Structure 1
């Protein structure tokens, strides 16, 4: 009886999982495998991951299978499990980061050496990263033409979950780590919770997105972490959104996600090297100013609120991400890689392509066609947090200030106790 090992990576779901669906349709036995790799398990995302794995195991067990869990190098463990189960094939979802592609290369080589079929499936994006190319180039460097091509591309059909998963007899599934009693972040992991949030967002939140998406005190879909771990399918989310009126603004954001994935696929060094090198940049070092930025004590309330939200919740509103990024790179002149590393450590939705792509965009070294663009934090705060609700929530030292001073506490007649009275980079004007 044919056996296929399906290696889960960032596709931790049973709905719309191309590798799992085809394996269950074609093979008598399927081994859903996840390998806990100690080399890449980020501390602040650990609880979300563990919650997600428990949920995935439950979903597979209701279908007669199980989630097989091992620890170590994913390529080595996948081949080992294939040997234990006499599997002839190892299938997995493809990814774009240099780390993922090196892992895929090792696994492909190990499969060749053992005469196992190795196959990568789509699923991490709506349109596969290398599927769209402009005339005369290997990828799109500007978003708008990519959006036009992406919008005109037929999408693969959304797949239902397998009705049954048949695991080989006698295989030890392994133990899953338990989530912390005090998990980090504002969202809980797992496909079940992700699908609940997705349905709620499409039914009740999507209609107001275009008019409120930049209001920093509100929440948007809060689906980014579920997309990062693959608890929900980006293809299914786009299909559900497109069935509703006035969904274009939100679908464009999902297209931005695919855009940066195709950039990272073509430019694997996106996280370390300038995408568009500029000779006029002289970055400051990672010193006291960067430390104040990380801790949220720069003296610029909208910046400090964002950085404290990140540290407390593992999430930050996208508009605020742009504001704090512009402040670090354009005001303090600190290397964008400092920001990338800090965000990567704390964000629950810390996708390499999007994190690095956005940071390079705001620093002027990436895909922005206006590299010298600067976001003035005071102007942004007045526009997108006009009553100071967001700042008061995360910088409680300023809670008693009136609306006209909450974004500029250094103008207050009396110093604000416990808060830096002047901005780190000198007084700001808008």
Structure 2
């Protein structure tokens, strides 16, 4: 059982099927190439997730074997050691995941080992629904959403009643990935993702948070989103289980389920267009500016536009940013400063604890007008957005403390607060 983005025991189709064998080796490979390109906050979350997974496997009689190296090589080495004739793995999307899957299948076949792929990373597997008029994926969300709602769902996979690992298999004393390597600091678990384990976070959200989601999800100060994006990104929470549980909340859960559909939508786009993190999905003529000063001011949260600076400082402080703030800050960089979307998306990816390729780069291209938005010229006026979604300025004052003395919505007036060490952008908001 090769764990990747499905670090859970409950509703894990790959693990359920692997457990039908007499013995199961539960393996995670810490690939230095991936870790070297991961944010320190993602590595911190991964470390906790692996420890949680190991505890769950031990409760069933198994244990997590952790090895360090290139994933395909280490997986096949482990398979040879125990005489395994089959490798079970969750199917993933993206250029790297695709190359890894092809290498694994090719090299395993050469060694007489079968590789079995399973769903579980999304609610509806990428490619399971396609446009009736032709094409391998949906390019617009609304028709995808309708097809997604009507699509059948697999049955939830029960956790194995027990696991029996092969004899003599150890973890090689490989330490968990170290988020503090090279002196990098990480946020505390409470600042990173609220603390507690993933199952507890999901239950708390369903019992206490989802009822106010539809009314307050865009209220920046209310912070009423689920904060489960990192749990979903690493597969600590099953998207299928979460969807079904949200549906059982009736109308209160419907708006949240739609966001899970958006997540699946971006995954099926990335599956069909693996170059999404690097190349315009829909090329358009844009006069991008190579403005290092403007980009640095944006990245450091000192543009002079309070709502933009608040969002960017939340990202720096928490490794997370409210979804509405993500739209506002991305729109400011691409539409007003005219800096290329990839620079902003890469900056987000370098700091976010969720850092999902499909969601991050898909949403950045959507905002920039090069992605799946049917209105590529859509704009995000940051001042209007601030007055609408942070009318009393609570969100801004939370993350821009030097504006704490400014009352109400007046906090959103850019560049008008004496004594504030802002560096105004080169262009005013449209």
Q: 3-state DSSP class of the match of 2:34?
A: coil
Aligned to 1:3: none
Aligned to 1:424: 425
Give 1:184 shift: 2.3
**CA RMSD across the alignment:** 1.6
Partner Cα separation in structure 2 for residue 374 and residue 352 of structure 1: 23
Superposed counterparts of 1:7-406, under 5 Å: 7-24=2-19, 26-41=20-35, 42-44=38-40, 45-134=42-131, 135-174=133-172, 175-177=174-176, 183-184=186-187, 186-188=191-193, 193-219=197-223, 220-246=225-251, 247-278=253-284, 280-285=285-290, 287-406=292-411
Partner Cα separation in structure 2 for residue 178 and residue 184 of structure 1: 15
> Residues 352-374 of structure 1, C-alpha deviation per residue, up to 9 Å, x if partnerless?
01101100000000000000000
> Residues 345-396 of structure 1, C-alpha deviation per residue, up to 9 Å, x if partnerless?
0011111011011000000000000000001000000110111111001111
Superposed counterparts of 1:405-416, under 5 Å: 405-412=410-417, 415-416=418-419
Q: 1:286 to 1:114 in 2, by over 3 A?
A: farther
Give 1:189 shift: 9.2
Aligned residues of 2:303 and 2:309 also touching (Cα < 8 A): yes
Give 1:207 shift: 1.2
Q: 1:312 to 1:159 in 2, by over 3 A?
A: same
Give 1:405 shift: 2.2
Runs of 4 or more above 6 Å deviation: none
Partner Cα separation in structure 2 for residue 417 and residue 250 of structure 1: 38
Q: 1:286 to 1:101 in 2, by over 3 A?
A: farther
Q: 3-state DSSP class of the match of 2:45?
A: helix
Q: 1:397 to 1:152 in 2, by over 3 A?
A: same
Count of residue correspondences: 417
Partner Cα separation in structure 2 for residue 273 and residue 410 of structure 1: 35
Partner Cα separation in structure 2 for residue 189 and residue 428 of structure 1: 34
- Structure 1 unaligned segments of length 5 or more: list them: 1-5
Aligned residues of 2:305 and 2:415 also touching (Cα < 8 A): no
Aligned residues of 1:51 and 1:189 also touching (Cα < 8 A): no
> Residues 242-290 of structure 1, C-alpha deviation per residue, up to 9 Å, x if partnerless?
1111121110000000000000001111111111111x21211151111
Length-normalised TM-score, structure 2: 0.94
- Structure 2 unaligned segments of length 5 or more: list them: none
Aligned residues of 1:361 and 1:368 also touching (Cα < 8 A): yes
Q: 3-state DSSP class of the match of 2:275?
A: helix
Q: 3-state DSSP class of the match of 2:170?
A: coil
Partner Cα separation in structure 1 for residue 162 and residue 151 of structure 2: 32
Partner Cα separation in structure 2 for residue 39 and residue 338 of structure 1: 21
Q: 3-state DSSP class of the match of 1:169?
A: coil
Aligned residues of 1:189 and 1:226 also touching (Cα < 8 A): no
Length-normalised TM-score, structure 1: 0.94
Q: 3-state DSSP class of the match of 2:33?
A: coil
Aligned residues of 1:54 and 1:176 also touching (Cα < 8 A): no
Q: 3-state DSSP class of the match of 1:187?
A: helix
Aligned residues of 1:296 and 1:303 also touching (Cα < 8 A): yes
> Residues 213-238 of structure 1, C-alpha deviation per residue, up to 9 Å, x if partnerless?
00011221110000000000000000
